[in-house]
């Protein structure tokens, strides 16, 4: 399956790293509750789960059109949940009207007047699918200069259960000691969540 190259990583204080460099095994006495065993960062050979395209173009002296397109670059048997896409627009934007794709289900749009942002919420996105949003902006003044510099970047938040974008895997989980008072569950859950997912115009 090949190796995964990490830029850096750190471990929970309960982890004993005696054999990590030899065979990548971690030994630990876990504290109560949920906790991160290991945090890591990687930039090499990384395929982002979403491809985001964002365009803004003038459509008259005081109007513009926005096109947002999202493509899910993960397998069709995987579904992303609770997706929020936000795009800042020029500060002199007064109104925005939205046009969702035909047959769109579980999608909502909003223009956040206070922060001058377009917001697009999608309940779920199936792997391999593509979704498009068009918006028409009305400005309080005529546009001067480059609209692209005054809009964006696009920010996404999402959760993808049972999907691991980094391909780093837990191959084996063994509970060495069991007691009558402590009955642990042995299971591994993969979840990909957006921390800072930004696409520039």
What's residue 182's pLDDT? 67
What count of other Cβ atoms lies within 10 Å of the Cβ of residue 165?
17
Higher pLDDT, 43 or 150: 150
Burial 136-164 (b: 16+ CB within 10 A, else e): ebebeeebeeebeebbbebbbebebeebe
Burial 170-182 (b: 16+ CB within 10 A, else e): eeeeeeeeeeeee
Instruction: Give DSSP secondary structure letters for 98-156.
Output: EEEPTT--SEEEEEETTTTEEEEEEEEEETT-EEEEEEEEEESS---S-HHHHS--EEE
Higher pLDDT, 181 or 105: 105
CA angle 72–161–68, rounded 5-degree value: 25
pLDDT tens digit string along 132-157?
Answer: 999 999 999 988 778 999 998 999 99
pLDDT tens digit string along 47-62?
Answer: 889 999 999 999 988 9
Class of domain 50-161: mainly beta
Cα-only R_g, the chain:
22
In whole angstroms, give the CA distance from residue 173 to residue 183.
15
**Prediction pTM value:** 0.81
Which of 161, 153, 97, 98 shows the shortest CA–CA distance to 124?
A: 161
Structural domain spans, the chain: 1-46+166-187, 50-161
What's residue 72's pLDDT? 97
Residue in this structure with the two tokens 């459509």, named with its chain if needed: 59
154 touches 54 (CB < 8 A): yes
């Amino acid at each position: 399956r090949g190796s995964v190259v990490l830029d850096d990583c750190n471990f929970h204080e309960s982890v004993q790293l005696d054999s990590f460099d030899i065979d990548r095994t971690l030994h630990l006495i876990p504290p109560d509750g949920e906790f991160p065993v290991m945090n890591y960062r990687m930039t090499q050979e990384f395929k982002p789960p979403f491809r985001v395209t964002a365009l803004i173009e003038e459509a008259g002296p005081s109007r513009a059109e926005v096109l947002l397109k999202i493509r899910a670059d993960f397998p069709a048997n995987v579904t992303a949940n609770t997706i929020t896409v936000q795009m800042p627009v020029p500060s002199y934007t007064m109104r925005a009207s939205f046009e969702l794709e035909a047959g769109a289900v579980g999608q909502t749009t909003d223009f956040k007047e206070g922060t001058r942002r377009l917001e697009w919420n999608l309940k779920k996105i199936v792997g391999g699918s593509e979704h498009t949003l068009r918006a028409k902006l009305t400005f309080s003044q005529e546009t001067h200069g480059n609209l692209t510099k005054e809009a964006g970047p696009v920010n996404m938040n999402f959760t993808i259960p049972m999907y691991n974008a980094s391909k780093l895997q837990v191959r084996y989980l063994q509970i060495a000691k069991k007691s009558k008072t402590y009955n642990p569950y042995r299971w591994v859950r993969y979840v990909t969540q957006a921390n800072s997912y930004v696409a520039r115009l």
